[in-house]
Amino acid sequence: MKIRLASTLQPDSIVDGEGIRTVIWTQGCAHACPGCHNPETWDFNGGFLTDTDEVNKELDKLEGQDGITLSGGDPLFQPQASAEIAKHAHEIGLTVWCYTGFTYEDLLKRKPMLDLLKHVDVLIDGKFILAERSLNIYFRGSRNQRVIDVQKSLKEGKTVVIEKYMQDKDTKMGPEKNSKIYI
Q: Check residue 177 and give its pLDDT.
A: 37
CA angle 88, 73, 35 (to 5 degrees): 145
Q: Give the architecture (CATH level 2) of 2-166.
A: Alpha-Beta Barrel (3.20)
Q: Please tell me the distance from the alpha carbon of residue 15 to that of residue 22, in angstroms, as a whole number.
A: 10
CB-based burial, 48-78: b 16+ in 10 Å, e otherwise? eeeebeebbebbeebeebebbbbbbbbbbbb
Q: Check residue 180 and give its pLDDT.
A: 40
Q: Check residue 171 and give its pLDDT.
A: 52
Asked if 7 and 55 count as a contact pair (C-beta separation under 8 A), the reply is no
Count of helices and strands (H, E) across the chain: 6, 8
Q: Check residue 16 and give its pLDDT.
A: 96
How many CA atoms within 13 Å lie on the side-chain side of 158? Answer: 3
Q: Check residue 173 and give its pLDDT.
A: 37
Q: Please tell me the distance from the alpha carbon of residue 11 to that of residue 65, in angstroms, as a whole number.
A: 8
CA angle 99, 104, 106 (to 5 degrees): 115
Which residues, given as ranges, of the chain have pLDDT below 70? 171-183
- Residue type at position 119: H
Instruction: Please name which of 176, 180, 96, 102 lies closest in space to residue 134, comparing C-alpha atoms.
Output: 180
Instruction: Give the length of the chain.
Output: 183
Per-domain boundaries in the chain? 2-166
Q: Check residue 170 and give its pLDDT.
A: 73
Q: Check residue 182 and give its pLDDT.
A: 36
